Amino acid sequence: MKVYNDINAWLSMRKELSTHLSLGVVMTMGALHEGHLSLMRQSKQENDRTLVTIFVNPTQFDNKNDLQKYPKTWESDCDLLQQVEIDYLLAPRVSHIYPAHDYFYMNENHFSQQLCGLSRPNHFQGVLTIVLKLLNLAQAQRAYFGEKDYQQAKLIQKMTQCFFLPTQIILHPTIRDPDGLALSSRNTRLSETGREKATFFARLLKTEKSVLNMKHQLELEGIQVDYLEEIGQHRFGAVWIEDIRLIDNCAKP
């Protein structure tokens, strides 16, 4: 696996990559788990080469504490990437991605203002900005995102359509542990009791109970609900457990 911290070194390599070879990209903030690996395996199946990016994007964290506490596991991430036989890893420096006096951001003013956007102001602005930058750097044929972050994935898909970006956005179903909890880098920060509560939330979301009833049950378990909503045929939830914000979604049962 070739590792690039320098954007220009990556771009020179990208220029030299034969136009006959297709490239797939999987964007991550590190702390890799099976959810990320399944995206990478799909990319490897569908493309000649796969690029993974690791960049803990500061502009999508509304809370400095959350950014500081975000798990950083560089060594084990690199081991996993080697095991999956990833071709290229791009891990750019923050100052290269956001140079001084860079005042450009990508905004969406509708869906990004709902659900997670309500309690995390500017979060999707940060996500769409970094994804646009990384899509332009990667110049990939395909980019892979998990449906666990459904709102994010749909916004990215819409952005590429609206701006006629050439990369095809491919969504991958949520990967769950056998107990039903959606894999997330944040799960590692949960205590045993916290994890039980998180599993309760994941299971409850898929039941036929009404939104009101679910909220009530979560509160009885001492779980703070950020939102629980149904939009169209989809159900979305976000909760706080031990100061950790967890999200999940599913088709409306």
User: What does the alpha-carbon distance between residue 204 and residue 149 come to, in Å, rounded to a whole number?
Assistant: 18
Q: Determine the residue type at 144.
A: Y
Exactly one of 4, 24, 28, 61 binds ligand PAF (CB under 6 A); which one? 28
User: What is the chain's Cα-based Rg?
Assistant: 18
Q: Is 20 a residue of the active site? A: no
131 binds ligand PAF (CB under 6 A): yes
Name the segment binding ligand PAF (CB under 6 A); options: 22-30, 104-112, 136-144, 192-200: 22-30
Question: What is the contact mask toward ligand PAF in residues 166 to 185, using x (rule: CB under 6 A)?
Answer: --------------------
198 CB-contact burial (10 Å; exposed 0-12 / middle 13-18 / buried 19+): buried
223: which DSSP letter? P
Beta-bridge partner residues of 251: 234
Exactly one of 130, 135, 169, 218 binds ligand PAF (CB under 6 A); which one? 130
Exactly one of 43, 47, 50, 57 binds ligand PAF (CB under 6 A); which one? 57
77 binds ligand PAF (CB under 6 A): no
Cα separations in angstroms, 37 against 22, 120, 192: 19, 27, 25
Name the segment binding ligand PAF (CB under 6 A); options: 81-89, 124-132, 200-208, 245-253: 124-132
Exactly one of 51, 149, 160, 174 binds ligand PAF (CB under 6 A); which one? 149
Q: How far is the CB of 236 from ligand PAF (least distance, A)?
A: 16
Q: What is the DSSP string of 115-168?
A: THHHHSTTHHHHHHHHHHHHHHHH--SEEEEEGGGHHHHHHHHHHHHHTT-SSE
246 binds ligand PAF (CB under 6 A): no
Q: Determine the residue type at 22.
A: S
| Annotated catalytic residue, options 36, 110, 123, 172 | 36
Q: How far is the CB of 27 from ligand PAF (least distance, A)?
A: 4
127 binds ligand PAF (CB under 6 A): yes
Let me know: does 170 contact 142? Beta carbons within 8 Å: yes
- Residues forming the site for ligand PAF (CB under 6 A): 27-29, 57, 60, 127, 130-131, 149, 152
